[in-house]
Amino acid sequence: MKKVLLSLAVIATGFAAQSQVICAGVSPAAIVGNYDFTWADPAGGDWTTPDFLIPGTFVEDTLVIVDDGSTGTNPQGNPVSAEGCFPLINGVDVAGKIAVLYRNTCEFGAKALNAQNAGAVGVLIINRDPEVIEMGGGADGASVTIPMVMISSTDGLTITTEMLGGPVVMFLGNKTGLYPNDAGVVKGASLVSKTSGVLTQLAQDATEFNFDIGTRVYNYGTLDQSSMTVTANIDGPSGASVYNEVVTLPTVLSGDSITIAPLETLTFPQFSLATYPEGVYTLSYVVDLGVADDYDADNTVTASFNVQDSIYGFAPFDAAGIPVQNNGFRPNGNTSTFSDCIVFDSPNGSRVGVTGLYFQALGTSVDLSGEEIALYAYRWEDVFTDMNDAALAFDNLNPIANGFYYYPSDLQGETVYGAFTAPVVLEDNQRFLFCAQTVNLDVFLGFNDNIDYTWNLDYYLQPLGPIENDGAYFAAGFGADIIPAVAAKMIDAGSIGLDENGTIEGSAYPNPAKDVVTIAIETSEDATIVITDLSGKVVMNDVLSFANGNAIVNIADLQSGMYVFNVTLANGLSSQFNVAKN
């Protein structure tokens, strides 16, 4: 039986809300703008809070920090009294206002209920980390009837600092119909690159790598709009635009939307280039009303993809060229094994081989030191056309590679790399599944919701990030807006098996070094370099260009300490050096 979507448990940053649902600063000017947030969503069944997806459901009021009478400070340096774990003693101040409190130990539902009982009209909770997470209602969530929103510790510091100087007003909820002129685009209704990690071996020209462009424009305002345009633009690695198309829209009625996409009346041309220089490409969709937008914070959606020769995946890359997580998830009710996976399928798959996987793990109640993560590559031999095909199944997964990674220290949420016992060459027009698996029920695996493949999944109908839960696989995972941050390390297929031990002699100097290291290897080929610290954390992933057998590596941004340099040539040969940074 085909299993498509799985429910989940969350540890770190939860779901991005739709664009019309916002957490925004209203006054003073220093805090005006949108903030990343999650909210207590009644759809999960553990809250009875207002449903922000209903237009006109919002609260806007002054912020007040709670006081539950506790003493001392918590590990983050915030007053324990502002955690709101006990009945509030400043109810006179909180009544009719948005209560501000800090996350630390007690349940979210208990905090919200204490604020509600004191007369608060809403709750703004500040996370203890520089991110946001989904909030479970716990034992008291079903009794909470006021809205509750979480923001990050960094945004919280900005807001609470401003509160020291006077009243701060915020808006929490759905802004549809609040402004006369208000339009926007959302990432969940926009087509993006098919992957975030685009391999040069598989993108040699316009026929090998291309993708369709499309988005939906929403008119959230009370006025009809007759002068709108929407622009799709892609900036290449140099920063210059390599694609720019503008579509003039017909009149869009208040509360309505219009789609610009393939097979629609309005379309953008497909994106493709004759060649793809390596580097970061950034796609943006921008809506312009032709008049001043009364709320322009949702007028733009962006998504990037990285063209290079060594990493395949769907999650966003960081500045060091490494796929990263911003969420830790695991399935509800999981009792044994849990895997997050990505799908590889290319008409030119035989050009590359896979050597191992990048992944992340998290756990608030577990020290990752010594933790085992199993790594698998499967040839997915079930024959099906797309996500709507009744033949879609996971009955014929043929293991072709495996490995194990043991955490050297408590690298919570950090991207690490684990190698398969041997690299394996892939095949043309054949699906493969790459998975990281844990058997620890307290370990959450890394995902990322900063990029949203919802429209891609609906349009192309091909699986992207399946999930395995206690032996059962779910083709759509936790949803295309929550993509596994697993990525596969790739090399040229022709390089596999060329050298018995796979190594090549070389050196690194000066050593110790301060800002620059020269790698000396007898080669004129390009190479990739992965630098890890002694705990195994990847701190740099870059491309090296050798001239006269030398390549320069800038390590000025690294902290002082010992690092391991892993250099892999295009032919698959590798060299490793230990380098001390002063």
Q: Where in the chain are the domains?
A: 21-174, 183-308, 317-494, 501-581
- Cα-Cα-Cα-Cα torsion 178, 180, 184, 186, nearest 10 degrees, comes to 20
What mean pLDDT comes out for the span 13-32?
A: 71
The band of 383, judged by pLDDT with boundaries at 50, 70 and 90, is very high
| Per-residue DSSP letter, 350 | G
How many Å from the N-terminal Cα to the C-terminal Cα in the chain?
58
Q: Which of 232, 214, 229 is nearest to 183 (CA)?
A: 229
Tokens coding 84: 């709101």
d(CA 46, CA 478): 19
pLDDT (average), residues 38-62: 93
pLDDT at 13: 30
Q: Name the pLDDT band for 508 (thresholds 50, 70, 90).
A: confident
Q: Does the domain made of 501-581 have the CATH classification 2.60.40.1220?
A: yes
Q: Is 240 exposed, middle or buried (0-12, 13-18, 19+ CB in 10 A)?
A: exposed
Q: Average of pLDDT values for 320-346?
A: 91
pLDDT of 491 above 80: yes
Whole-number Å distance between alpha carbons of 548 and 529: 18
Q: What is the pLDDT of residue 8?
A: 44
Helix H or strand E segment including 468 = strand 467-469
Give the model's confidence band at 129: pLDDT under 50 very low, under 70 low, under 90 confident, else very high. confident
Q: Which of 439, 387, 446 shows the shortest CA–CA distance to 411? A: 446
- Rounded Cα distance between 147 and 135, Å, is 12
Give the least confident one: 60-64, 195-199, 497-501.
497-501
Lowest mean per-residue pLDDT among 54-58, 227-231, 379-383, 562-566: 562-566
Which of 231, 337, 323 shows the shortest CA–CA distance to 286? 231
| Spatial separation of the C-alpha atoms in residues 325 and 450, rounded to whole Å | 9
149-153, 207-211, 435-439, 544-548: which range is least confident on average?
A: 544-548
Q: Percent helix, strand and coil across the chain, each rounded to 5? A: 10, 40, 50
Mean pLDDT, range 66-81, rounded to an integer: 94
Pick one of 2.60.120, 1.10.10, 1.10.3470, 2.40.128 as the CATH number of 317-494: 2.60.120
Q: What angle do CA 285, 287, 290 make, to 5 degrees?
A: 155
- Tell me, which fold does domain 21-174 have in CATH? Glucose Oxidase; domain 1 (3.50.30)
User: Mean pLDDT across the stretch 234-259?
Assistant: 98
Binning pLDDT at 50, 70 and 90, where does residue 36 land? confident
Global pTM value: 0.78
Portion of the chain with pLDDT greater than 90, in percent: 72
Q: Report pLDDT for 279.
A: 97
Reported as a pLDDT band with limits 50, 70 and 90, residue 139 is very high
For 184-197, how does the pLDDT look when each residue is reduced to its tens digit (9 = 90+)?
999 999 999 999 99
Residue 469 — pLDDT band, cuts 50, 70, 90?
A: very high
C-beta atoms surrounding 550 within 10 Å = 14
Q: What is the pLDDT of residue 534?
A: 72
For the ranges 43-52, 292-301, 323-332, the lowest mean pLDDT is seen at: 323-332
- Tell me which H or E stretch contains 542: strand 538-545
183-308 and 501-581 share one fold = yes
pLDDT band, very low/low/confident/very high, at 502 (cuts 50, 70, 90): low
At 2, the pLDDT band (50, 70, 90 cuts) reads very low
Instruction: Please say whether the beta carbons of 323 and 311 come within 8 A.
Output: yes
Question: Which position has the higher pLDDT, 248 or 20?
Answer: 248
Residue 497: per-residue pLDDT: 61
Q: Which CATH number fits domain 183-308: 2.60.40.10, 3.40.350.10, 2.40.50.140, 2.30.330.10?
A: 2.60.40.10
Among 224-233, 402-411, 501-510, which is the least confidently predicted range?
501-510
- pLDDT attached to residue 9: 45
